[in-house]
Amino acid sequence: MKNPRAADRFCHATGLVLVLSGLLHLVVFAVDGGPWDGPVSWRKPVTFGLSFGLTLLAITWVTSYLRIDPRLRSALLLVFAADCVAEVGGITLQAWRRVPSHLNMQTPFDTAVSMTLAAGGGVLVVLLMVFAVASFRHRPQGPADMPLAVRSGFAILLVALASGAAMIARGVVLTRTGHQEAAYHSTAPLKPLHGVSLHAVLVLPALAWLLSRSPWTDQTRRRIVATAVGCYAAAVAGAGVWAVLTYR
């Protein structure tokens, strides 16, 4: 897509479809029942659909403030959108098959799905790191408090990427060494850290955008955003301490 706006519209539509997929599976869970926790549950297509959908919507919006070549941004966003669909699709497929989606090496097909999801996670890390570097390389555009919100959001997002990579790496090692059940439970300590830090890139810029519509001065808005960044960082630190204390 040569038109950046067309790429944005495509990503917005894709993000909304993923969010709707998560909500649909919440209805499926309400009807079908079953456990909410564990490697096989309707929780995974619900949470991953909502999370990936919101993340795609957030990244599409937030990157519009970055000083980056429009054609490069569009190409990266389209790859990001395709990867989000692949991740949610693989997780949803395995949920309907009633087998674990991640770290599942029981059959050749399950192994292929699991490795595809892991590879897709690697692609997500690379793409988001490119956007994060761009946010720090050149001051983002927008209201006076937006650069701090965008840069802080991407910085905290890197924590989510690191914790996600750590979960996959540890789980794969346990699986390869014959500790399949331990692999499924090994991700629990890092899940709060991953979840909390994942959406800072949406929450903080959204706060800055809302404040830009207020009558407050630039200095006041910057102080509010700085306070919000501090609070968010404290929440991430708390989740990190929890991960350390519960790590086995």
- The percentage of residues in the chain with a pLDDT greater than 90, rounded to a whole number, is 67
pTM, 2 dp = 0.89
Cβ 62 vs Cβ 150: under 8 Å: yes
Q: State residue 53's pLDDT score.
A: 96
Q: State residue 246's pLDDT score.
A: 84
> Pick the residue with more confidence: 7 or 180?
7
DSSP codes joined into one string, 3-30:
-HHHHHHHHHHHHHHHHHHHHHHHHHHH
Q: Does domain 1-141 have CATH number 1.10.10?
A: no
Q: What is the pLDDT of residues 202-212, one digit of tens each?
A: 999 999 999 99
Closest of 124, 137, 170, 162 to residue 239, by C-alpha = 162
Question: For all residues of the chain together, what is the average pLDDT?
Answer: 90
Lowest mean pLDDT, pick from 10-24, 153-167, 218-232 = 153-167
Q: What is the pLDDT of residues 131-168, one digit of tens each?
A: 999 999 999 999 989 999 999 999 999 999 888 888 87
Q: What is the mean pLDDT of residues 73-78?
A: 96
